[in-house]
Amino acid sequence: MEKTANYKTEKFEWDGDATAPHDYPMWIIYPHSFILSDGYEAVIPNDTFMADGWEGSANSWSIGKSNKAIPESLKIAWYSYTENKFYKGNFKMPQEKIYDLFKDGYLIYGIDTKKLVYEGYDKKELHKETFSALTVGLAPKGMVVVWASGQNKIEIGRFQGEEVPEGPEADKMWKQIAELSDRPISVKQSMAKFTSEVQEEILKGKISSKRWDDYRLRYSWRVTFNQSLEIYKYQIRFFNSEHFGYPPTKDQGSYNKEIIETKEKAVPSELDLFVKSENGLKHLIRIDSFDEQEMIQSFKDLAKSSPNSSITMLINVDDTFKKVNIVLKNDVIEIVLEKCKTKLFLIDKRAEELLKE
């Protein structure tokens, strides 16, 4: 109770930003703000063509106050190029959930930029940081996702925009994008720039939010090994754009339970596992990329084959630590991952220092 008592008033240094999937561009128009409890608006960038990628860099502005309270709502309107449609929404934000994330923050090893700016202290050390942005993701069919973004990135929620019918309101919205241009001509020009796959989706009326909703599906799963290995640190990214690996406290052991114990998580896209073997040697098991189609379908197949059982990601490493293969399994079936890209590294003291950076 004490922790969340100030969730409407305590301030953090953050900005609003936005992104959209590759090949499915969006254009944000007015309104475009997070609304705070005191009525202050934290502006999200608009008047720009967005297609940076669901997982990629977002567009951000530093306007107005740098220190702000956690918002209670999001008001936003936008144009979806692939659909030639406008959407809008006024969404209530889970203030206490966001506040708790910002309040907990995470530990980072490196130079504390605040100490550097205000005290001239430039030594690397373990220090506390927190999220620096609330990121809005816009996908087809009015899909909206909000994340707390920083060195970790955590999904806040999924929201559904309202389609704006063609008519005076939509015409007024178009003027915010290109007041002097003819909309049919602009739509035709945009169509020519899309990939052949997206053009086919448009012509067949198959534009959908399914791909991004599939990214959000969570499954009960864990990581395990074929030999006795202890995870002492990890970094993980997911297809839903989340990523984490920086713990909120020095209790790394408890934080490791997020992946070594069965918990609900999205499907991973990349994974770094820092492990120690029984002989004391340290290694990095790196999965540079899991194949999207293989991973999404494998998790679906496993969940369908045995809905009530959990999923295990078994990482098989040979005794010489030269070869690795990965199996997804439950109590019914096993699926060998054929398309993931893996690397193995021996970590000496010098490598450990470099990895800290």
pLDDT digits (tens, 9 = 90+) for 135-179: 999 999 999 999 999 999 999 999 999 999 999 999 999 999 987
Residue that finishes a domain, picked among 157, 175, 207: 207
Q: Rounded to whole angstroms, how far apart are CA atoms 251 and 222?
A: 19
- Give the residue with greater pLDDT, 178 vs 35: 35
pLDDT category of residue 114 using cuts at 50, 70 and 90: confident
Residue 154 to residues 191, 199, 239, 261, 309: CA-CA distances in angstroms? 33, 32, 12, 19, 25
Same-domain status, 266 and 291? yes
- Kindly state whether residue 2 falls inside one of the protein's structural domains: no
Strands 49-50 and 85-92: unpaired
Q: Rounded to whole angstroms, how far apart are CA atoms 223 and 356?
A: 23
Q: Report which of 274, 231, 280, 277 is spatially closest to residue 256, judged by C-alpha positions.
A: 231
- Kindly state whether residue 5 falls inside one of the protein's structural domains: no
pLDDT in the model for residue 1: 45
H helix intervals, the chain: 95-104, 113-119, 168-178, 183-193, 196-203, 210-216, 252-260, 292-305, 349-356
Phi, psi of 329 (to 5 degrees): -150, 160
Average the pLDDT over each of 84-88, 113-117, 325-329 and give the range with the smallest value.
Answer: 113-117
**Half-sphere exposure (Cβ direction) of 246: Cα atoms closer than 13 Å:** 23
Residue that finishes a domain, picked among 151, 174, 207: 207
| 120 Rama class: left (phi>0) / alpha (psi -120 to 50) / beta | left
Quote the Cα angle for 302-273-271, to 5°. 55
Same-domain status, 346 and 279? yes
- Give the residue with greater pLDDT, 39 vs 313: 313
Same-domain status, 174 and 258? no
Same-domain status, 160 and 97? yes
Same-domain status, 86 and 231? no
Its domain, for residue 25, covers 12-207
Q: Are 325 and 336 in contact (CB under 8 A)?
A: yes
- Kindly state whether residue 3 falls inside one of the protein's structural domains: no
The 10 Å Cβ neighbour count of residue 229 is: 18
- Give the residue with greater pLDDT, 117 vs 310: 310
- Give the residue with greater pLDDT, 126 vs 357: 126
Phi, psi of 355 (to 5 degrees): -65, -30
Residue that finishes a domain, picked among 207, 240, 274: 207
pLDDT at 355 over 50: yes
pLDDT at 16 over 50: yes
- Kindly state whether residue 167 falls inside one of the protein's structural domains: yes
- Give the residue with greater pLDDT, 1 vs 121: 121
**Half-sphere exposure (Cβ direction) of 178: Cα atoms closer than 13 Å:** 12
Q: What is the b/e burial string over 92-125, where b = at least 16 CB atoms within 10 angstroms of the residue's CB? A: ebebebbbebbbebbbbeeebeeeeeeeeeeeee
pLDDT at 89 over 50: yes
Written as six digits, the tokens of 63 are 């306007």
In whole angstroms, what separates CA 31 from the centre of its chain?
A: 24
Same-domain status, 153 and 237? no
Say whether pTM exceeds 0.85.
Answer: yes
H helix intervals, 105-205: 113-119, 168-178, 183-193, 196-203
Same-domain status, 195 and 222? no
pLDDT category of residue 62 using cuts at 50, 70 and 90: low
- Kindly state whether residue 352 falls inside one of the protein's structural domains: yes
Q: Rounded to whole angstroms, how far apart are CA atoms 355 and 3?
A: 34
- Domain tally, the chain: 2
Helix, coil or strand: residue 99: helix
Q: For residues 215-226, give the mean pLDDT.
A: 98
- Give the residue with greater pLDDT, 115 vs 231: 231
Same-domain status, 22 and 165? yes
pLDDT at 83 over 80: yes
- Kindly state whether residue 88 falls inside one of the protein's structural domains: yes
Average the pLDDT over each of 37-51, 159-173, 286-300, 303-317 and give the range with the smallest value.
Answer: 37-51
Same-domain status, 224 and 246? yes
Q: Are 269 and 55 in contact (CB under 8 A)?
A: yes
- Kindly state whether residue 1 falls inside one of the protein's structural domains: no
Same-domain status, 189 and 43? yes
Q: Report which of 70, 214, 243 is spatially closest to residue 149, judged by C-alpha positions.
A: 243
Residue 256 to residues 173, 220, 243: CA-CA distances in angstroms? 48, 15, 14
- Kindly state whether residue 165 falls inside one of the protein's structural domains: yes
pLDDT category of residue 22 using cuts at 50, 70 and 90: very high
**Mean per-residue pLDDT over the chain, rounded:** 93
Q: Rounded to whole angstroms, how far apart are CA atoms 275 and 259?
A: 13
pLDDT in the model for residue 2: 54
Q: What is the pLDDT of residues 234-292, one digit of tens each?
A: 999 999 999 999 999 999 999 999 999 999 999 999 999 999 999 999 999 999 999 99
Q: Rounded to whole angstroms, how far apart are CA atoms 116 and 137?
A: 32
Phi, psi of 328 (to 5 degrees): -105, 135
pLDDT at 336 over 80: yes
Same-domain status, 157 and 233? no
Same-domain status, 223 and 178? no
